[in-house]
Every structure is written in C-alpha cells, then in structure tokens.
C-alpha cells in the first residue's frame, strides 16, 4: 500500500477507534484506526457529498 499521511479528528487524538482520512490530489481515502488495512477510496466529489450529508444530519438516527 502507498505511504499516505493519515489524519484523524482532534477529538480522537488519544482514542483507539477513530476514523482516519488521507487526501491526495486524485482521491480521498478513509479507514478506521481499528482496521487500518480496510481502506475506502472516494473521489473528491464523493467526499464532499459524504461530508455534506453528515453535516446535514442525513445519517442521524
């Protein structure tokens, strides 16, 4: 796997179960810190749509 710079939310700085994101010019990669080998690859448009949906509460229960 490529060497990517993974970042996680500030709220998760010391936690062991956090989302992590790596951004390149062509794609956005998302994974869980618990399963670092399971990586989802999104286009920049898909990433923007996902973030927008989260902010709009579309995934709230």
- The pLDDT assigned to 46 comes to 97
Distances (CA, A) of 31 to 4, 22, 38, 44, 60: 12, 9, 6, 16, 20
pTM of the predicted model, to two decimals?
A: 0.81
- The pLDDT assigned to 1 comes to 53
- C-alpha Rg value of the chain to the nearest Å: 12
Residue range 2-60, pLDDT digits in tens: 688 999 988 887 777 899 999 999 999 999 999 999 999 999 999 999 999 999 999 99
Domain boundaries, the chain: 10-55
| Length reported for the chain | 61
- The pLDDT assigned to 39 comes to 96
Local structure of residue 53 (DSSP, 8 states): H
């Amino acid at each position: 796997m490529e060497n990517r710079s993974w970042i996680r939310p500030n709220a998760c700085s010391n936690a062991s179960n956090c989302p992590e994101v790596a951004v390149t010019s062509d794609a956005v990669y998302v994974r869980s810190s618990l399963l670092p080998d399971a990586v989802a690859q999104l286009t920049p448009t898909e990433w923007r749509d996902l973030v927008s949906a989260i902010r709009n509460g579309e995934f709230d229960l």
